[in-house]
């Protein structure tokens, strides 16, 4: 899977987290915010960071927003701006628009005006959203700290039929397998001789850098 182009509008904690993670995973990211300070603080962590009023249709058009694959509308408390920008992003031709909602009513309005997906930051951390966008193999993502995470990962074909000992995940990928999910069964603390089957889901813990490398392998 080749890298995509993302535009993230609104650089609060959630938007910043999404933008930085998408960029770290090898994607082109344009970050937009009205605050010069927010733009400056993220400028080294994304492809481009721009100070602009995203409720201004002409500003969005000038930034070429229609050329982006995905727009993440991460506006905070200003529900009116969030709705306006979501509407503009769809009207200007962004293929997939994700918007942050404050509550269920806000979410309903966002869906009604064309948002493809609505997220609640309290339930969906920015990092998790970014990983789910980038890789269909990453099924869930729990950030333990900026350096370590627990991830549910769908097995890739080259792992099938091999034991955990043969795969030697710690040496080869820098991760540890905590459990194997097979249908409704969960094998907690699997042994080295356990064989990986097609369709299995591995629950692994590892450093953020190592997990990012696996995502790149799995999506190529």
Mean pLDDT across 204-213: 82
More confident site: 164 or 122: 164
Task: List the domain boundaries for the chain.
Answer: 5-119, 124-217
103, pLDDT greater than 90: no
4, pLDDT greater than 80: yes
- Helix/strand/coil (H, E, C) string of 91-111? HCCCCEEEEECCCHHHHHHHH
Q: How far is CA 163 from the centre of its chain?
A: 30
Per residue in 176-190, pLDDT (tens digit) is 888 888 887 888 778
Per residue in 18-41, pLDDT (tens digit) is 999 899 888 999 999 999 999 999
Q: Which residue has the tokens 């082109």?
A: 28
Six token digits for residue 36: 């010069």
**What pLDDT score was predicted for residue 140?**
64
203 CB-near residues (< 8 Å, 6+ apart): 150, 151, 152, 153, 177, 178, 179, 180, 181
Asked if 43 and 32 touch (Cβ cutoff 8 Å), the reply is no
pLDDT-derived band of residue 79, with 50, 70 and 90 as boundaries?
very high
Mean pLDDT across 6-25: 91
Query: Homologous superfamily of 124-217 in CATH?
Result: Regulator of K+ conductance, C-terminal domain (3.30.70.1450)
Q: How crowded is residue 220: how many other Cβ atoms within 10 Å of its Cβ?
A: 7
Which overall architecture, per CATH, does domain 5-119 show? 3-Layer(aba) Sandwich (3.40)
165, pLDDT greater than 90: yes
């Amino acid at each position: 899977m080749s890298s995509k182009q993302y535009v993230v509008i609104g650089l609060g904690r959630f938007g910043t987290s999404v933008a930085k993670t998408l960029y770290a995973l090898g994607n082109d990211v344009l970050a937009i915010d009205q605050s010069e300070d927010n733009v400056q603080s993220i400028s080294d962590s994304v492809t481009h960071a721009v100070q602009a009023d995203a409720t201004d249709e002409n500003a969005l058009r000038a930034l070429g927003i229609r050329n982006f694959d995905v727009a993440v509308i991460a506006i905070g408390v200003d529900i009116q701006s969030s709705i306006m920008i979501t509407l503009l992003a769809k009207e200007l031709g962004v293929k997939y628009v994700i918007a942050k909602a404050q509550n269920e009513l806000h979410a309903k309005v966002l869906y009604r005006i064309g948002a493809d997906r609505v997220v609640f930051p309290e339930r969906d951390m920015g990092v998790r959203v970014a990983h789910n966008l980038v890789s269909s193999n990453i099924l869930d993502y729990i950030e333990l700290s900026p350096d370590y995470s627990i991830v549910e990962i769908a097995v890739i074909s080259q792992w099938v039929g091999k034991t955990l000992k043969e795969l030697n995940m710690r040496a080869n990928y820098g991760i540890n397998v905590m459990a194997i999910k097979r249908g409704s069964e969960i094998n907690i603390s699997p042994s080295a001789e356990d064989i990986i089957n097609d369709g299995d889901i591995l629950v692994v813990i590892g450093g953020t850098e190592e997990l990012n490398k696996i995502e790149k392998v799995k999506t190529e």
